[in-house]
Amino acid sequence: MDSFFNECIKKLQTAGIAMPRLETRMLWADILKCAPAEVYENTPLTEEQKSQVSAMLQRRLLHEPMDKILGHREFYKSDFKVNADVLSPRPDTETLVESALNLLPENTQAKILDLGTGSGCIIISLLAERLKTSGVAIDISPTALAVAKENAERLNMCSRLKFICADWFQADFTTYLTDKFDVIVSNPPYIPSIDIAKLDDEVKKYDPRIALDGGADGYNSYRRIAELAPDILKDEGFLILEAGYNQAEDIRRICEKNNMTHFKTVKDLAGINRCVIMKKAVAETKKI
């Protein structure tokens, strides 16, 4: 007779889950409060624990993302709370974090703005690495912002991080900001509306649409952020944007139309142009 452990693996395998053994270990480890590597086929579970694993397994068989089931996900160097109100952090977005860190000296006292913060994984990761920086995290969703605040509290970042619930498409958006920033980071919605239906179930069914839908061509948020950036960046400040597949050049052109200078485009580990870095173009002072 197959063990309960192997039954779980077979069910995940049949559902087309890519790493059924690892994911079985992850489910068991969450219940047992141990590391997945400590889980084996003969690891004992009580009947109550089996029931808990079965309930989580049923959610995974419906292709609910593992991090939404477990309620947390590793990103960069920390573990972040996630739920249905926030976009699941992706490894690709770590390219944005690393790109920003490369521009921020170790002892900088830079002020950083995160537009569309979601779980807060970007801004919190930056503040954790640059101990003298401070930041503002903005999101249109109050429930997403609540998740970001919880992550900031758990990772001891609240003293350096302010949260604002606002819509950057509002005409008076800049009135929410009392300072100018050295760096703006954003992973905005960039999927064209018509393409949402083509996404994997794990994305379109379980990530908030507001964090995915970039409008008819995918660039609505980029156009608005590019309009705002020159007014809210300090001179020589940087705008660092995550880009979807084959979008980097269009994003660069959108920003250049708004008095921004292209600084660098950074590839992710798959070789895709993932991060567009723009710099505020400062007009030269004419000599008399």
pLDDT in tens, 34-46: 999 999 888 999 9
Average pLDDT of every residue of the chain = 94
The per-residue pLDDT for 284 is 59
Nearest residue to 135 (alpha-carbon basis) of 92, 93, 83, 100 = 100
Sheet of 260-267: strand order equals 161-165, 134-139, 111-115, 181-186, 233-242, 273-280, 260-267
Q: What is the pLDDT of residues 3-37, one digit of tens each?
A: 999 999 999 999 999 999 999 999 999 999 999 99
Q: For residues 59 and 69, what is the distance between their CA atoms, to the nearest angstrom?
A: 7
The percent of residues in the chain predicted with pLDDT above 90, rounded, is 94
pLDDT band at 265; cut points 50, 70, 90: very high
**Does residue 282 carry a pLDDT above 90?**
no
The per-residue pLDDT for 141 is 97
pTM, two decimals, is 0.92
pLDDT band at 2; cut points 50, 70, 90: low
Element (H, E) at 139: strand 134-139
- Is residue 221 within 8 A of residue 250, CB to CB? The reply is no
The per-residue pLDDT for 174 is 95
Q: What is the pLDDT of residues 189-209, one digit of tens each?
A: 999 999 999 999 999 999 999
Amino acid at 81: K
- Is residue 89 within 8 A of residue 80, CB to CB? The reply is yes
pLDDT band at 281; cut points 50, 70, 90: confident
Q: At what angle do helices 142-154 and 121-129 cross, to 10 degrees?
A: 30
Q: For residues 166 and 217, what is the distance between their CA atoms, to the nearest angstrom?
A: 23
- Is residue 177 within 8 A of residue 232, CB to CB? The reply is yes
Burial label, 227 (beta-carbon count in 10 A; 0-12, 13-18, 19+): middle
Distance of CA 164 to the CA centre of its chain: 17
**Does residue 268 carry a pLDDT above 70?**
yes
Q: What is the pLDDT of residues 74-130, one digit of tens each?
A: 999 999 999 999 999 999 999 999 999 999 999 999 999 999 999 999 999 999 999
Mean pLDDT of 198-226: 95
